[in-house]
Amino acid sequence: MQQQEQQQQQEQQQQEQQQQAQQQQQQQPAVQRPQQQKCSSSSINCKTNRKRSTRSSSSSGRAERAATSAAASAAAAAAAAAAAAAAAAAGVLTFTEKCMRGEFLFNDLFECILNSGIVFRHQQQQQQQQQQQQQKQQQQQQKQQEQKQQE
């Protein structure tokens, strides 16, 4: 129970740090962004490495390990999504993007497979949102054209 509470607190802190980093990046001029992006993506890699070491060193029951790995994978998904969004603006490759391209260490293979599935689902959701937005825009344009024709 204590491990789960600690992990939840760590996840909340990570999300807050990511939000603060994104806000700082948005406030800074575009010339300085690439350096900040590199720092943020490497710090996320460090966090995932820390999670790996804590996961492997825990010697509790199967149920607890399953719960901690599920929480860690959820945190990794959130971190990967935030890192991908931040790095896409600066053109810096994130850990998951490297996984998708096959640029990873053999030890990271399992995590790459998990992350690539998460990224794929995230990309599908983004595509669906874009399609919905396009449909709304088309409907608005049709309404405007109908109004112009009536006038």
- Residues 99-117: tens digit of each pLDDT: 666 665 666 666 666 666 6
End-to-end CA distance of the chain: 67
- Residues 56-66: tens digit of each pLDDT: 554 456 666 66
Query: CA dist 85 to 30, 66, 80, 129, Å?
Result: 15, 28, 8, 16
For the chain, the 3-state helix, strand and coil shares in percent, each to the nearest 5, are 90, 0, 10
Range of the domain at 27: 2-150
Give residue 35's pLDDT band: very low, low, confident or very high (50, 70, 90): very low
* 35/117 Cα distance (integer angstroms): 28
Q: Residues 6 or more apart from 29 whose CB is under 8 A from it?
A: none
Give residue 134's pLDDT band: very low, low, confident or very high (50, 70, 90): very high
Number of domains in the chain: 1
Please tell me the predicted confidence (pLDDT) of residue 34. Answer: 45
- Residues 5-25: tens digit of each pLDDT: 766 676 776 667 666 666 655
